[in-house]
Chain A
Amino acid sequence: MEITFETIVFFFLAAFTVVFSIFTVTTRSIVRSATYLLFTLFGTAGIYFYLGYTFLGSVQIMVYAGGIVVLYVFSILLTSGENDRAEKFKRSKLIAALGAVVAGAAILLFVILKHKFMPAISETTPVETDIKTIGHLMMSSDKYGYLLPFEAVSILLLACIVGGLLIARKR
């Protein structure tokens, strides 16, 4: 594959996402971990934009970066105690966890790289799906419509609001 502008952009996005996702789990302070999670989510949104799913990327930025990370930061500041730094682990446990993770990643990468995926169309340029198609599909009850999951998610969010209020209220 020749080096084009798009491959450079992709490798930048991939390196950004991977590096910050590793930083997220290795840093000691919780607030810093949440900040790195935010950068990881931005990188993921960039990958969605690069794939041509503009709507998915903007939903990712709005919901994750706008909602969830703010929620995390609030709850970290609410519950930060004197011992919110990650405590030291025993070295053997840390090495065991690292070994398990590296072995699992090696097996999974081996399977992925060995498997021959059937490419539908080789090297298609990403076409952007327009928002009108997404809206029609989301609201239609045809064969490829998503009205039922849409309504189920709305019920789930309603139950989530009620449950969150019920659990976190002062008593």
Chain B
Amino acid sequence: MEYYLIVSTIMLFAGIFGFFTRRNTLTMLISIELILNATDINFAVFNRFLFPNGLEGHFFALFSIAISAAETAIAIAIMINIYRNIRSIQVKHLDEMKW
């Protein structure tokens, strides 16, 4: 069981590293996907190894996938709108919030 947790830990911190070091909003979003994916692995693994008779973690991972899909769709819509307005999605060009 610990091996699965090692995998998800490394994936989580890879996501955090990407979130720290990237200056492009799309790659920051990709890093967020990695973080969410690591939590999904943890849900499934804890359900399988600690409570093998229930299905709570399974359903939590399922709903988490749905929520992250919704979040990605909205975030990409926002980014396309930003690109339409200021022709760039780099973080350093995003210095005002009104349009």
Contacts and interface: CB of A to CB of B under 8 A. Distances in A.
Contacts of B20: 97, 100-101
Contacts of A118: 50
Contact of A24 (B1, B14, B72, B73): B14
Interface string A32-76: 011001001100100110011101100110011001100110011
Given A56-B58, A79-B89, A149-B59, A168 B81 contact: yes
B74 A164 contact: yes
Contact of A52 (B34, B48, B62): B48
A30 B24 contact: yes
Contacts of A68: 33, 68-69, 72
Contacts of B3: 10-11, 14
A59 B53 CA distance: 21
B50 A79 contact: no
Nearest to B22: A86
Nearest to B76: A75
A138 B49 contact: no
Contacts of B79: 75, 79
B26 A105 contact: no
Contacts of A24: 14, 18, 30-31, 34
Interface residues on B, range: 35 or more
Interface of B: 1-7, 9-18, 20-24, 26-27, 29-31, 33-34, 37, 40-41, 44-45, 48-56, 58-59, 61-63, 65-70, 72-74, 76-81, 83, 87-90
Interface of A: 10-11, 14, 17-18, 21-22, 24-25, 30, 33-34, 37, 40-41, 44, 47-48, 51-53, 55-56, 59-60, 63-64, 67-68, 71-72, 75-76, 78-79, 81, 83-84, 86-87, 89, 93-94, 97-98, 100-102, 104-105, 108-109, 112-113, 117-121, 124, 126-127, 129, 133-134, 137-138, 144, 146, 149, 153, 156-157, 160-161, 163-164, 167-168
